[in-house]
Structure 1
Amino acid sequence: MDTILGPLYYAVSWIIVQFHSFYSLVFDRNSGAAWGLSIVSLVVLIRICLIPLFVKQIKATRNMQALQPKMKAIQERYKSDKQRQSEEMMKLYKETGTNPLSSCLPILAQSPFFISLYQVLNHIAQGKVVGVIDKPLLESARQAHIFGAPLSVKFMDSASKVESLGATLTDVRVVTVIMIVLMSLSQFYTQRQLMTKNVDLTVKTPFMQQQKMLMYVFPIMFAVFGINFPVGVLVYWLTTNVWTMGQQMFVIRRNPTPGSLAFEQRQERLRAKGKLKEDPAQVEAKKAAEAARASRQQPKRQTKSQRQTGGQPSAGEQAAEQQKQDESSKPKPAGGSSRSAKSGQRKGGPQRPKHPSKK
């Protein structure tokens, strides 16, 4: 490992020493502030250099989003044949030039630097010269503490080793536990934000399953392996997690994936500010739909017989309805109601002759 990554040891140690020389102008050269800020600056420098890979990651995510309908069609067509489904997915990736693993490129690119920093700090903990860190710098780095914990110690180190560096085991474990928890939470929030705001959750694809798995796997990995990381490496990884979280929040807000929740929220913000010009055809279609909805009449309530005959009234109901219409169309006689007119006719009109009684 030392033979393969030897050049990186020199590169990483040289960068740290240069930043340490700069921060020593402000802080004590043996302080945790000078060495800790040197590691943070190393992370920032690496992440700036990785911005082109991050842009490539965004493009890969967009390509994956554009392929969602085709992926869904393949899933529906071969839902009973998982092997054929995987073959068709890989064929689609090859035809469109899309790599579903592109989202892992920044992490993969950082791995050599992460391993190199881990080894540099291990050499410092063991009192060994590494890269461009000579004896005076080695002693200075061993004296550097962050919140009472030396940069080169781990959670699992013995009390005697910790005390030899001028610290207590309690301080070391409290600091490492807090940093491991912060690392895990920041990683989980970053992945969860990606899953809930910047992807279309209506379509399930292998890419989606991969992202969902990483959301739970990475925090567990940090929690398990973090106890074996030196404090300086925890500083490195916590810084890169915070950088990733902020970078992703910026991208999701300013350039979200089309069709995602973040995209709809951005459209609403632009619409509220008057910066979003809608398509005239869409506006006319929306107005027509609203007009049709407003003019739509509610169906009349039907009787039981109408429901049984498919909405047509029965013969008896038709006759009753016709009789009501005839009565309502007759003119009412003057001077009283129809009942009084009939009674007056019986009193004043001609009467029937009585039959003569039999003698």
Structure 2
Amino acid sequence: MKRKPHRLLLVSALLFAAVALTGCGIPQGDVDLNAPPGWWEAVIVYPVAKVLIFMHDVIEGAGIPYGYGWAIILLTLFLKIVTLPLTLKQLQSTKAMQALQPRMRELQEKYGKDRQKLAEEQTKLYREAKVNPLGGCLPLLVQLPILWGLYQALYVLANPSVGELQGAGFYWIGDLSFPDLTTGTGWIATSFTIRDWGMLFAYASLPIIMIVSQLVLQKMSQPAKAAQGGAKDPQSQMMNQMMFFMPIMFGYITLGLPSGLTLYWTVSNILGIVQQYFITGWGGLVDWIPALNRTATAAASSPVQAPPSPPPPSTADERVKPVIKRRRRRK
């Protein structure tokens, strides 16, 4: 019961990887944006493509270069805002699950040998705490269709019959439609063969940034080791392995996908890091960068100077003494 969310995440990631690498669902031949071949294209793919074209035209009309790159970034920001309620629900679920970890460890110690009883007690604990162990998976499951729809939309825009994305660059990236299905990851060997280091930097740097941002985001979503009490249970070990495996796997996949999709993925991670920080703080990232913990602690415990306390109220005798002294001087 306890491992199902993590298995679901892994299966979803592997499914997306398999479909992306095989190019399943990518339109072949000429494409007509006004004549979608199916309901998926009519509801998701072609509307996303048209939104990107509209954003590009507005941005380019305003005199801003790299229209498609900025259109992808704005679309990512819009999707983040739309899915913010789901993200908040995910973070609340994650926080609640982390708060239950001490009691979960107690149940493991008590019923560790009886798996059925352990599962029953865990389910009972979730029910009492009103926590859904699958709640943290919902935003990912929602984002995967969006990611797949954007993946197909970019290929539609790069289709020669549409000809929108071909040659559209973004700063150091020469073509947001590159690499494509025919190229795959073969461009890496080609760049080494012809010693085209500029090409290697242009199309490998963004996947590297994506991997780093994904690692940071996943580490922030975990509690710090100090909060976990230094526990090294099988679930924590599995989470740590997945935390390193999944970003690297996705990073390898993006080496063979259009750079526009990698740009979306990277910007989504960066926006997720900002959301995570303002809602739950640095989380487990302080295990890698202890200075973050010291900074947060110093900010939380910085002394606030209290206003000077007023002088104590004077008594009746103290008010009379100056009057007596003045009278004596007159005499």
TM-score normalised over the length of structure 1: 0.60
Report the RMSD for the aligned CA atoms in angstroms: 3.5
Query: Could you tell me how far apart the structure 1 residues matched to 2:294 and 2:121 are?
Result: 31
Q: Number of aligned residue pairs: give it.
A: 254
- Do 1:125 and 1:142's aligned partners in 2 also have CA atoms closer than 8 Å? yes
1:153 corresponds in structure 2 to: 178
- CA displacement, residues 259-308 of structure 1 (integer Å, 9 cap, x when unaligned): x9989975653332439xxxxxxxxxxxxxxxxxxxxxxxxxxxxxxxxx
Alignment correspondent of 2:112: 79
Matched position secondary structure for 1:228: coil
1:43 CA drift (Å): 0.3
What amino acid does structure 1 have at the position aligned with 2:174? A
Change (3 A) 1:180 1:156: farther
Preserved contact between residue 180 and residue 234 of structure 1 (Cα < 8 Å): yes
2:165 maps to 141
Which has more radius of gyration? 1
What amino acid is aligned across from residue 247 of structure 1 in structure 2?
Q
User: Residue 155 of structure 1 contacts residue 173 of structure 1 at CA under 8 Å; is this kept in 2?
Assistant: no
Q: Partners in 2 of 1:263 and 1:68 — Cα distance?
A: 21
Match of 1:191 in 2: 218
Name the CA shift for 1:104/1:169 in 2 (closer, same or farther; >3 Å). farther
Question: What amino acid maps onto 2:300 in structure 1?
Answer: L
Inter-CA distance 27–173: structure 2 relative to 1 (3 Å threshold)? farther
Asked if 2 retains the 8 angstrom alpha-carbon contact of 1:198 and 1:263, the reply is no
| Structure 2 Cα separation of the partners of residues 198 and 61 of structure 1 | 16
Distance 1:80 1:55 in 2: 36
1:271 to 279, 301, 308: 301
Q: What does residue range 279-358 of structure 1 map to in structure 2 within 5 Å?
A: none
1:5 aligns with 2:35: no
Contact 2:155 2:177 in 1 (8 A): yes
- Structure 2 partner of 1:182: 209
Q: Percent identical across equivalent pairs?
A: 26
Query: CA separation in 2, counterparts of 1:88 and 1:230?
Result: 47
Indicate conservation of the 8 Å contact 1:176/1:231, yes or no. Answer: yes
**Contact 1:144/1:151 (8 A) holds in 2:** yes
- More relative contact order in 1 or in 2 (CA 8 Å, sep 6+)? 2
**1:221 to partner: Cα distance:** 1.7
Q: Which residue of 1 aligns with 2:70?
A: 37
TM-score relative to the length of structure 2: 0.65
Residue 223 of structure 1 aligns with which residue? 251
Provide the C-alpha distance between the structure 2 equivalents of 1:151 and 1:38, rounded to a whole number of angstroms: 12
Which residue of structure 2 aligns with residue 62 of structure 1? 95
1:200 aligns with 2:200: no
Partner residue of 1:352?
Answer: none
Change (3 A) 1:176 1:196: farther
Structure 1: gaps spanning 5 or more residues: 129-137, 163-167, 276-359
Structure 1 counterpart SS, 2:227: coil
